[in-house]
Amino acid sequence: MVYRFWCGECGFKTPWLAESEGAQRQLDHYNKQHPGILAGGHVEANRRNPQGSRISGLACLQVAGILVLLLSIAAACRP
């Protein structure tokens, strides 16, 4: 599952991230932009796309396979 963390003080929000990474980015934001204020806001879970916008392992493997195929065709066409 991926999450987006919203600042309770301003309009800042993290991108869709793993829970621990999103929490850390929110904490970093508070330390930099709102020093002395405890981190607040809310957390949003992405239920429509639980893996986020990251390329899945299968998609990456498919892209690699297509690239190998194209390179093979290009190499076969060289005199």
Please enumerate in sequence order all residues whose Cβ is within 8 A of that of 40, keeping only pairs 6 or more positions apart, or say none. Answer: 7, 8, 9
Q: How much is the pTM?
A: 0.60
Q: What would the pLDDT profile of 2-61 be if each residue is shown by its tens digit?
A: 999 999 999 999 999 999 999 999 999 999 999 999 989 999 998 877 665 555 556 667
Count Cα atoms within 13 angstroms, Cβ side, for 67.
6
Q: What would the pLDDT profile of 6-19 be if each residue is shown by its tens digit?
A: 999 999 999 999 99
